[in-house]
Structure 1
């Protein structure tokens, strides 16, 4: 089989490519600015889809709502049987996913892709741990992190762990069609993330509470407009109602002791991912799945993603 991997410069795709090539799977690397050994695929330009998809059996795709329907059509024409789409668990954690700018584009992409004939597997990770890199300038300049809602508890997950899950959805046919919500093992506050960085650096990092307007001004290079306002509202809700958010994120999955092999030493912020599938679509599905990581010994460098059929009460 040939797997088309989009977003080659992204951390998740880069990790996924290492797993696929390490397993000897044929890959086609796609990028909007391809290197000599890569294929041109601009997710904003449907004219680039057909050539990139020719001869491909599976795709790892970054969600892009405006052209998702075009991609589904091109994938069907090319005979692609399976698409793994990287979405966001904002689809399940915000109150109004149809209109909230944090969730609506992802939900629209999922819906458009599912309208095509290919089987669609959806990965909905929480906040990427690497989002903390946005604090780099403040830490370097004044050893401080300025936050409007420092006590907001988020579901930080390492991109490397997401890449491992993506690999197994592409190589285990029993996972096809699943919708997986991927989080870290615990809800961790933004301030706690800053304190973890402080401990790792061996230096004191101060966490300062600032106003919403101050944050928007400081972050306007990478977050603007309605999205910035939605993100602030989201953090505010997580700070005001941490218990509700904790239940909503579903951290009652497997414990660290039950998942000793998941995560690797290079994962700096959250070394363990709890993969908890969302309920199956109404009117079908094989029932909830529980996931755990095991090490069968044959591939100590790449744990196996084991699947158990179980009941909803066991999952939760």
Structure 2
């Protein structure tokens, strides 16, 4: 049985490829840059692009199961990221015609939110709008997969621990992190946890038809994240608290579109006093019998990124 991993050179996809190889599976990796993929020698790395249907037959030949990472575009006018569910859906249809019988969809926590009832706190209009758009995009792709009649499992991770890599440059250069709201934070999920559940969904029948929300074990604040990374690299990292206005100006100077910066700020503000719109789940424990990997484990695993 050949398993196709799309998004194979991303953080979660790369982790999944390694876990499948370790499990003795035949793995094919779809990437737009095969020459620089740097995946295990046992992996069949092939060029493939969601925007180029002529590349799909060679990628899907002989494949029975697919880990489907959503096709993400960047709008030229605003820089906003969105899920192109139509492009992904056409790929799914082609895959089923080529013989694929099971999909594990890398979705998002927002796909499980009730329509029109995005769980952000009062006054979070930009965050609510963003969550509504994100929910629609990811849920559309999930529904496209469901409509094919193939077997499916949806993985809906919350906020990823790898978001902390956004601080890597300032930590390497200055040993400083600049953020508003030091007590803001979420139960950041380790990409290895997502990959581990994906392996179970790809290789066993126990998870067919299930949709899983995945988070880390508990809320970790921004200040705690910085201290945890400092411990991992055995050095001091200074947390420089920004006012909300300073944060907006800082992000916009770094090229973040203003409308994107607005919901980023509200996302942080939403979890100052509590878990915010993404509380911890025990899904990983229910599936594996073990606690989710901690942020400390993530920081240790990514130590080299901050040195």
TM-score, normalization by structure 2 = 0.75
Q: Which runs of 5+ in 1 are unaligned?
A: 272-316
Separation of aligned partners in 1, 2:255 and 2:25: 36
Contact 2:193 2:284 in 1 (8 A): no
Contact (CA 8 Å) 2:188, 2:216: kept in 1 or not? yes
Quick one: which of 56, 66, 84 aligns to 1:59? 66
RMSD in angstroms over aligned alpha carbons?
3.1
| 8 Å Cα contact 1:155/1:183 also seen in 2 | yes
Q: Residues of 1 paired with 2:244 and 2:163: CA distance?
A: 18
1:172: how far off? 1.0
Report Cα offsets for 1:243-280 as digits up to 9, x if no partner: 564xx524466879x95586599933499xxxxxxxxx
Paired with 2:283 and 2:95, the residues of 1 have a C-alpha distance of 35
**Structure 2 matches for 1:20-39, cutoff 5 A?**
20-35=20-35, 37-39=44-46
Q: Which moved more, 1:116-125 or 1:77-86?
A: 116-125
Distance 1:162 1:55, change over 3 A: same
Is the alpha carbon distance of 1:74 and 1:225 closer, same or farther for their aligned partners in structure 2, counting shifts above 3 Å? Answer: farther
Separation in 1 of the partners of 2:184 and 2:136? Answer: 22
Structure 2 residue 145 is matched with structure 1 residue 113: yes
Q: Which runs of 5+ in 2 are unaligned?
A: 37-43, 72-82, 120-127, 302-307
Give yes or no for contact 2:153–2:209 (8 Å, CA) kept in 1.
yes
Report the Cα offset of residue 152 of structure 1.
1.4
The alignment partner of 2:225 has SS state of helix
Aligned pairs, number: 267
2:98 corresponds to 1:75: no
- Structure 2 equivalent of residue 233 of structure 1: 266
The residue correspondences of 1:152-163 to structure 2 (distance < 5 A) are 152-163=184-195
Question: 2:182 aligns to what?
Answer: 150
User: Which of 57, 77, 92 does residue 50 from structure 1 map onto?
Assistant: 57
Q: Is the 8 A contact 1:102 1:230 kept in 2?
A: no
- 2:179 is the counterpart of 1:172: no
Specify which structure has the bigger relative contact order, considering alpha-carbon pairs within 8 angstroms and separated by 6 or more residues. 2
How far 1:97 moved relative to its partner? 7.4
Distance 2:282 2:296 in 1: 25
Secondary structure of the structure 2 residue equivalent to 1:72: helix
CA shift in 2, pair 1:22/1:222, >3 Å? farther
Deviations 1:271-313 (A, max 9, x none): 9xxxxxxxxxxxxxxxxxxxxxxxxxxxxxxxxxxxxxxxxxx
Instruction: Say if 2:2 is the partner of 1:2.
Output: yes
Which SS does the other structure have where 1:207 is aligned?
Answer: strand
